[in-house]
Amino acid sequence: MKHLTILVPAGGLNLSSIVGSYKIFSRANLYWQQHGKKPLFTIQLAGLSKNVKFHDGLFTVHPTLVTTISKTHLIIIPSLDKNFQPALEKNKKLGEWLTQQYKRGAEIASICTGAFLLASTGLVDDKSCSTHWIAADAFRKMFPNVHLCTDKIITDEHGIYTNGGAFSFLNLVLYLIEKYYDKETAIYCSKVFQIEPDRQSQSPFTIFASQKNHDDAVVREAQDLIEKNLHDKLAVDSLATRLAVSRRNFDRRFMKATGNTPVEYQQRVKVEAAKKMLELSRKNVSEVMFDVGYADSKAFRDVFRRLTGMAPAEYKMRYNRERVV
């Protein structure tokens, strides 16, 4: 029988990803038993202390001490506290244990911001990794050697699995169930827990933030100009000239400060505004397109689909408040 370790980090944030993982794997074990097979996993919660409190002490988890587990086959890292640096300091020994177990052949799956603990080990340097889109900027600054994929729900590389965020961890758990058990068991679990399978992207759920957590005043002024002139297509050359910097220097500084080129930033600002209009107004797609400064419907649809994973009309159908009601 294989061994599954679900970590319970110090200063825990998200109890649901711990309980959810435990319940789905337990149900997969039960399903195998009901079909004459032995349970595949022994499931154990483990942490650095025997009592870990969640939600201001409303809930307490009593994990096994991780130091007593010498060998495991699969490790699940749940979400981490949003104060990432202090959380990593508190869980440094968990990181050391993760590295040790990976070297011994264990596979590791991180949920949401659990990717910060995983990345702190160096195990995903030069590898693909996903985390919640809301934590992407902080992640990039802390771990520049990791290939962050904010659009993906799941990454799978060299025995390391990562997940986008929030309740999309359920899709990662189903993915692992199919990998370790079989497709039939994964489908069964998806039906029991009513999880929509095969979700690939978290792009439709991303809310673009203005990426102004930097010290470059010129770039910040450029961002303000882009955001205040939503209806216009501002040429990057004109922006650079207006701000008295060369185009090459402007592009370099903008990319360094925001993680996007000026053109990408302008597209993201326009698409985010378009999303809000499609969600909250009665305007049709063409009206929204013109309102955010696009005259070419194909160009608008292509950019919108690339950034959200769906066409504007499909987005309106799914998220417009009046249609939802």
pLDDT of residue 195: 87
At residue 324 the predicted structure's pLDDT band, cuts being 50, 70 and 90, is very low
Distances (CA, A) of 313 to 264, 268, 275, 307: 22, 18, 11, 14
**Cβ atoms 179, 126 nearer than 8 A:** no
Which amino acid is it at 46?
A
Task: Give the span between the Cα atoms of 35 and 100, in whole angstroms.
Answer: 35
Q: Is the pLDDT of residue 323 over 60?
A: no
Mean pLDDT of the chain: 89
At residue 51 the predicted structure's pLDDT band, cuts being 50, 70 and 90, is confident
pLDDT of residue 209: 66
Domain 2-203 class in CATH: alpha beta
pLDDT tens digits, residue range 182-205? 989 999 999 999 887 766 655 555
Per domain, the residue ranges of the chain are: 2-203, 217-324
pLDDT tens digits, residue range 230-257? 888 889 999 999 999 999 999 999 998 8
Dihedral (CA of 146, 147, 150, 155) sign: negative
| Helix, strand, coil percentages, rounded to 5, for the chain | 50, 15, 35
Identify the residue with better confidence: 209 or 110.
Answer: 110
Does this chain's domain 2-203 share its CATH topology with 217-324?
Answer: no
pLDDT tens digits, residue range 64-84? 999 999 999 999 999 988 889
Classify domain 217-324 at the CATH topology level: Arc Repressor Mutant, subunit A (1.10.10)
Report which of 200, 207, 99 is spatially closest to residue 149, judged by C-alpha positions. 200
pLDDT tens digits, residue range 103-150? 999 999 999 999 999 999 999 999 999 999 889 889 999 999 999 987
At residue 27 the predicted structure's pLDDT band, cuts being 50, 70 and 90, is very high
Task: Give the span between the Cα atoms of 267 and 248, in whole angstroms.
Answer: 19
pLDDT of residue 133: 86
Q: What is the pTM of this model?
A: 0.69
Q: Which helix (H) or strand (E) holds 75?
A: strand 74-77
